Amino acid sequence: MTEVVTRRREMLARTPLFAAIPPALLDELAVKAKTIKVEGREILFSKGDPGDRLYLVSKGMIRIGVLSAEGREVTYGMIQPGELFGEIAVLDGGVRSADATAMEDCELLALERRDVLGFLDRHPSQALHLLKVLCNRVRRADDLLEDIVFLSLPSRLAKHLMMLGGLLGTREKAQGPITIRLSQQEVADHLGISRESVNKVLSKWEQAGIVALGRGQITLTKSAALDEFISPP
């Protein structure tokens, strides 16, 4: 077995979907997987495209979202290294339910639909793990809907900034402020709201010393204050 196949098998084994599969069985998929590189801001697939592959992120981050009827983007999730995406359309044979866009230069592991279905046909007991992954997707979608319905704009924005800080944020020094290198327009697009609405809230927070705004970046200077918006007393 080549070093490349071994590396792919190890990557697949670290995902919830394939974690419990014996290595000998996982090799069946590892030999069929392909490595794909995607540049930052490149669209991997769009809503309505055929669902012919599922993907595993090995490097970088993928944004999953859709365009609203008004032409605004709404983010469903940010897929990090070690996580899968694109499995729903692969399994039901339907079209893509959302867009997938690279947040930065990414390296992905791709599995063709025919290979995934063939593997499940040969090893039907492994389908249980797939059901667990899909249930997790449903739970995340429920959480997103709950946020939209019940949280105020400041609460939604605070929660999203804290999530982005954990995923994309950088610090100049340990325990220092977290800087997110995204524009206000990009953050607004993630939430499916206008830039003006985001700027109105951020400007108030800047005056209060909670954030610092720069060109193409937002610095979280008082993360504890943002937590209070997410979980008010």
Whether 233 shows a pLDDT value over 60: the answer reads no
Residue-wise pLDDT tens digits, 170-196: 888 888 899 999 899 888 888 878 899
pLDDT of 108-126, one tens digit each? 999 999 998 888 888 887 7
pLDDT at 149: 63
Structure tokens at 111: 């599995």
Q: Provide the pLDDT for residue 87.
A: 82
Q: How far apart are alpha carbons 90 and 190 in whole angstroms?
A: 25
Question: What distance in Å separates the CA atoms of residue 223 and residue 124, rounded to the nearest whole number?
Answer: 46
Sketch out the chain's domains with CATH numbers.
3-148 (2.60.120.10), 152-230 (1.10.10.10)
Higher local confidence (pLDDT), 232 or 146: 146
Residues of the chain above pLDDT 70, percent = 92
3-state secondary structure the chain: CCHHHHHHHHHHHCCCCCCCCCHHHHHHHHCCCEEEEECCCCEEECCCCECCEEEEEEECCEEEEEECCCCCEEEEEEECCCCEECHHHHHHCCECCCEEEECCCEEEEEEEHHHHHHHHHHCHHHHHHHHHHHHHHHHHHHHHHHHHHHCCHHHHHHHHHHHHHHHHCECCCCCCCEEECCCHHHHHHHHCCCHHHHHHHHHHHHHCCCEEEECCEEEECCHHHHHHHHCCC
Is the per-residue pLDDT at 62 higher than 70?
yes
Q: Alpha-carbon distance 60 to 85, whole Å?
A: 13
More confident: 87 or 54: 54
| 18-29 per-position pLDDT tens digit | 777 888 888 888
Cβ contacts of 223-232, under 8 Å, gap ≥ 24 = 223/162, 223/165, 223/178, 226/158, 226/161, 226/162, 227/158, 227/162, 229/154, 229/155, 229/157, 229/158, 229/159, 230/155, 230/158, 230/159, 230/162, 232/155
Q: Which residues contact 233 (CB under 8 A, 6 or more apart)?
A: none
Render pLDDT for 116-161 as a digit per residue (tens, 0 to 9). Answer: 888 888 888 777 767 777 777 777 766 766 776 667 889 989 998 9
